[in-house]
Amino acid sequence: MENLHEECGVFGVYSPKKTNVAATTYYGLFALQHRGQESCGIVVNDEGVFNHYKDSGLVNDVFTPEVMAELGEGNIALGHVRYGTTGKGDRVNSQPIVVNHVKGRMALAYNGNIVNYMELRQELEMTGAIFHTTSDMEVISYIITKERLNSHSIEEAIDCAMDKIKGAYSIVVMSPQKLIAARDKNGFKPLCYGQTKDGRYIVASESCALNAVGAKLIREIKPGEIVIFDKDGIRTITNHCEKEKEALCIFEYIYFARPDSVIEGQSVHKARMIAGAALAKDYPVEADVVIGVPDSGIDAAVGYAKESGIPYGVGFIKNKYIGRTFIAPGQKVREDKVRIKLNTVSETVKGKRVVLIDDSIVRGTTCARIVKLLREAGAKEVHMRVTAPPFIDLCYYGTDIDSKENLIACTHSLEEIKEVAGVDSLGFLRKERLYEMVNKDENKGFCMACFDSNFPTELPTEFSNSKYEQKIVK
């Protein structure tokens, strides 16, 4: 476990009749909690009146019974869980954003990172725009609002806005009559939709959220596609489809997504099993037990054990009442959380040669502490296998890797990383194995820029927006 942050999770529901869409959104966000634990929000459309609430914290802490009762019933709702890669985690940067303008109102929520954020924000400020947040979602809302002034519909405005917004985004937008979902031209972030038995349409970052509310997955929203849900059913706008090479973030399969989700037809659980099996083929070792770091290392550990014939064992017990370690900003806080988050099962590892499976090594500090826990529990040998290649570059599309100085693979050799981690042997998943993991050939586009520096888009001239940061006194 390292200094990687989840991205964000979006959820939307359109119901043909007035119902408790707030509750549906609550359960959907609960299923997406792994994608962001800084803040969350829900907006409910009740006959054109937008009832909304958002705050810092987890879904079940923010949305008390009293808050849910205030949100009330309606026929359209938006929800969002956030880990912010642009803008601090203050309440002011929480989503969804509600916008009132001359042609009505809308609410927006999104997952991603805009590479031309600085350029767009400065351009908007020069025309008199006043910003209240440091989130790139506010820039997106301004762009769509400007286009709406000269458009016949909100979906047309979104279509025009997509010509200006560059980077990674999966957006869900709500107007008084419509729910609209849109995905960037490269398709960096997952977005799908389904339908419940009573006719409600559900849009979500992952299919696990559809399952949580009893919806059946219909399909992924295509890169560049805009899908509109309203009283007339479903229709799409495909003007931006097939304009760019597809570039779904490969780390969705390695770490971000829940194992029970299906992305582009591939089970995330199965993808991780395949990665584990590949590690067993490429880096065989004599050992007594295979264990995985919860949660994303577990499926790969099972795959490694099955392929190698080495028994799988439960090596760690995870405290279910603490969030993912990376969510806590600041290295000292992350260190404290590692100590209370995982506990070794000494019976599994004592006196044994252990194969340890984890999803990634970024800084190298946290995995060293995990290995130390195994040594203290009596492990005789620790052989680490990682289901991702080494990180060698930044990410501009939503994963919180903002400095090469923080990437151990950029400053250390494989042997040096092994020494830092304190393991007896170390193996990273080979890049070519990633295509086997997702059951695609190399012509199928995925973004692997953090592993190979082949970025699918032009890169921003300015990457930091620290000059816009502000401390919000509550």
Active site residues: 8
CA-to-CA distance for 240 and 227, rounded, in angstroms?
A: 12
CA distance 445 to 244: 10
Number of other residues whose CB lies within 10 A of the CB of residue 10:
33
Q: If we measure between CA atoms, which residue out of 176, 137, 160 comes closest to residue 41?
A: 137
Q: Tell me how many degrees the CA angle 84-87-89 measures, rounded to the nearest 5.
A: 60
From 312, 249, 306, 284, select the one nearest 385 (Cα to Cα): 284
Q: Are 72 and 51 in contact (CB under 8 A)?
A: yes
DSSP 468: G
Q: Helix count (H) and strand count (E) of the chain? A: 17, 23
DSSP line for 47-96: TTEEEEEEEES-HHHHS-HHHHHHH--EEEEEEEEE--SSS-SSGGG-S-
CA distance 148 to 155: 9
Given phi > 0 = left and psi -120 to 50 = alpha, else beta, which region is 21?
alpha
Q: Identify the bridge partners of residue 166 per DSSP, sorted by sequence position.
A: none
- The string of DSSP codes covering 93-152 is G-S-EEEEETTEEEEEEEEEEETTHHHHHHHHHTTT---S-S-HHHHHHHHHHHHHTT-S
- Look up tokens 């985690």; give the residue: 89
> Which residue is listed with tokens 């921003």?
460
Query: How far is it, in rounded angstroms, from Cα 50 to Cα 70?
Result: 11
Q: Report the distance separating Cα 426 and Cα 279, nearest Å.
A: 10
SS3 content of the chain, % helix, strand, coil (to 5): 30, 25, 40
Residues 98, 42: Cα–Cα separation, whole Å: 10
User: Residue 300 has which token pair?
Assistant: 């790969």
